[in-house]
Amino acid sequence: MSFSRRSHRAPAESGGRLIDPPVVASDNASIEDLVDNNRLLRAAFTTRIGDLRLWELVAATRREVLTVAAEYTGSYRDVIRPDDVADWISRPVIMGGHQPELFHAGVWLKNAALDAYARQVRGTALNLVVDTDRCASTTVPVPVGTPRAAHVERVAFDAAAPETAWEERGVVDAECFESFGDRVADLLRPIVPESLVRRWWPLAVERAHESHRLGLGLAQGRHILEERWGLDTLELPLSEFVRLPTVMVFTGWLLAHARQLHEACNDALAAYRRAHRVRGRGRPLPDLAVRHDPSGEWLEVPWWLWSRDEPRRRRVFACASPQALSLSDLETIRVELPIAADTPPERWVDALTRMEEHGVRLRPRALVTTLISRLLVADVFVHGIGGAAYDRITDEVVRRLTGCDPPRHAVVSGTLRLPVERSFPGFDVDDPAGRLAAARRELRDIEFHPERHLVPLGEQPETVRELVTEKLRWIATPPTPALARRRCHAIRSANARLAAHTAASQRAVAARLEPLAGAVRAREVLEARDYPWCFFPEKTLKTFLLLETP
């Protein structure tokens, strides 16, 4: 068991990038070394998946994945498929993935890194569109206002609807969807006059109309823009990936070992919590649960389950018998599959295919998604910071299931903030937080040291001079046990009586606090790093994605 304590943090400065290993080889690390190391690690696996050795299943899966990804990508943008398929699948595959949402520019940097890594090793870049995740919201935050008074407005790109996975979600309100780009661009204009969203959004509208899916419209529109900017990547929806026969074989093998998988996940979580001193059973993920009913013991497994007629995602529980496996959400869905360790893999594939044809969706959670991707397809999987942290648990699950060390992953993230200083000169050097802190210190100083904020002592009335003199005498008096209480009360009393003479100064400083606090809140709004990538100007994005020099 080995949990690395190494952690990654998003860069603090706008334009900062975290790319580990670097795109350009350094003395310490390179993508070439990572590819070579991962191939050696995978070659050490002796695990048999049905009647295949792991490396045999890897070769077959890569052929299927690359072929289908090229067909899918070619349905909406140009793809050049190599003539020598054997050479194609033997070359390195650099893989990543994310939900088909309007993510921030730091997430988009992963796609640029996929392309750069693949070029470096003369391989193929493949991005999974994780359309099996839930479409939780169809609104995005849009900053409006000025550096003195900015706030966020939630702007809808589609009407609200019952929560479903992206793969099931079409456009509900066509007018709302089509007008989103113009509405957001108008709101952004005072802050970012040349945001990309107005010009790019028609692509998303066109692709959503053609694909009949909201998420695929966003993903395909983005992917076409990447092609225009010179990125050469393939994409594939996760919902298509998990339906490939070779992936179903591996899914069947995992389900046939449901108890081992369940225990490996929970043991890995427990080990992670001990190693990182994490308290609470829900962090970083909840344990997989166990339920009992008259039919037996049900072990939670890391998939989602829903049906075409009832598309709300629910947890999956497995109950095994010697020759079959029952899967259920313990609510309305229950299916029995001929999946067991000693049944032929073709029966696993047939059962999972028939379940899909009957409108029942079995979709992997993040842990299983990256486990399958890293073991069967990717020579290097590229994570963001959050995915990299969670995949430490995936690493331990792989060790417990196979007895072997898993392939290592890359980590890419970045920070890009809206170029507010272009519309508001001086914004980049202004420091309202510092001025607010200084005003609060001054207010405190007036309260506890009012004599510092009076006109010179010689110009004060005699009563004030006497108060100041008395206070200074007490301050100079050593705080002995006998005098400490009296000394403290005398100083406080002097400050209270002097306060009447500093009230105007106190009011003047206090009047600055709220405007400064408002400016601090506005700055937090304007400097947030999680605004969608399409809110930025094109040149800013290209520079950030390493596609243009500043």
- Give the DSSP letter string of 348-386: HHHHHHHHHHTTEEEEE-HHHHHHHIIIII-SEEEE-HH
Residue 150, in any domain of the structure = no
pLDDT in tens, 291-341: 999 888 999 999 999 998 899 999 999 999 888 999 999 999 999 999 999
**For position 451, what pLDDT does the model report?**
87
The verdict on residue 310 lying in a domain is yes
Residues 326, 327, 332, CA angle at the centre, nearest 5°?
A: 115
Tell me if 504 is assigned to some domain.
Answer: yes
Furthest CA-CA distance within the chain: 103
Indicate whether 227 and 296 sit together in one domain. no
**Residue 150, helix vs strand vs coil:** strand
Q: Which helix (H) or strand (E) holds 509?
A: helix 484-526
Residue in this structure with the two tokens 């405190």, named with its chain if needed = 444
> 17-31, 155-169, 173-187, 211-225: which range is least confident on average?
17-31
Given this model, what pLDDT does residue 550 score?
Answer: 60
The last residue of a domain, from among 334, 362, 390: 362
Q: Could you give the CA distance from residue 287 to residue 297 in angstroms, rounded to a whole number?
A: 16
Long-range contacts of 114-117 (CB under 8 A, 24+ apart): 114/233, 114/382, 115/226, 115/231, 115/232, 115/233, 116/23, 116/546, 117/23, 117/31, 117/380, 117/382, 117/410
Residues in CB range of 411: below 8 A, 6 or more apart: 8, 18, 20, 382, 383, 384, 385, 388
Q: Give the domain range for residue 374.
A: 17-132+219-249+364-420
Statement to judge: residues 339 and 394 lie in one domain = no
| Torsion angle of the four alpha carbons 148, 149, 150, 153, in this order, in degrees rounded to the nearest 10 | -170
- The number of distinct structural domains making up the chain is 3
Same domain, 348 and 381: no
Q: Which amino acid is located at 213 in the chain?
A: R
Q: Which residues partner with 326 through β-bridges?
A: 319, 336
Same domain, yes or no, for 306 and 340? yes
The closest of 346, 244, 256 to 301, measured between CA atoms, is 256
* pLDDT bracket for residue 5 (50, 70, 90): very low
Q: Tell me the HSE value of 284 on the side-chain side, using a 13 A CA sphere.
A: 21
Asked if 464 and 356 sit in the same domain, the reply is no
- The verdict on 371 and 358 lying in the same domain is no
pLDDT in tens, 480-511: 888 889 999 999 998 899 888 889 999 999 99
Record the pTM: 0.91
- Say if residues 376 and 58 touch (Cβ distance below 8 Å): yes
Q: Which of 362, 378, 411 is the last residue of a domain?
A: 362
Torsion, CA 197, CA 199, CA 201, CA 206, rounded to 10: -170
Would 49 be classed as within a structural domain? yes
Same domain, 461 and 330: no
Domain final residue, candidates 336, 362, 388:
362
According to DSSP, the β-strands at 149-156 and 48-49 are: unpaired
Q: Is 452 found in the same domain as 378?
A: no
Closest listed residue to residue 104, CA positions, set 463, 532, 480: 532
Min mean pLDDT across 183-192, 275-284, 371-380 is at 275-284
User: Do residues 240 and 388 both lie within one domain?
Assistant: yes
Determine, yes or no, domain membership for 486.
yes
* Residue at 137 is within a domain: no
State the chain's mean pLDDT as an integer. 93
Are 530 and 415 in contact by the 8 Å Cβ rule? The answer is no
For range 122-135, the mean pLDDT = 97
Work out the average pLDDT over 60-88.
Answer: 95
104-115 mean pLDDT: 97
| Residue-level pLDDT at 3 | 43
In a domain, 294, yes or no: yes
What is the three-state SS of 417-430? CCCHHHHCCCCCCC
Give the domain CATH number at 402: 3.40.50.620
Tell me if 393 is assigned to some domain.
Answer: yes
Question: 401 and 456 share a domain?
Answer: no
pLDDT score, position 1: 43
Rounded to the nearest 10 degrees, what angle do helices 245-256 and 54-74 cross at? 130
Distance CA 57, CA 23 (A): 30
**Which of 65, 83, 51, 34 lies closest to 345, judged by CA?**
51
Residue 504's identity, in one-letter code, is: A
> Residues 242, 365: contact at Cβ < 8 Å?
no
Query: What letter does residue 415 receive in the DSSP assignment?
Result: -
Q: Give yes or no for residue 2 having a pLDDT over 50.
A: no
The pLDDT of 24-41, averaged and rounded, is 89
Residue 293's DSSP bridge partners are 296
In terms of domains, do 441 and 502 share one?
yes
Structure confidence at residue 453 (pLDDT) = 87
pLDDT value at 179 more than 90? yes
Are residues 231 and 101 part of one domain?
yes
Asked if 401 and 49 touch (Cβ cutoff 8 Å), the reply is: no
Q: In this structure, what are the phi and psi dihedrals at residue 218, rounded to the nearest 5 degrees?
A: -65, -45
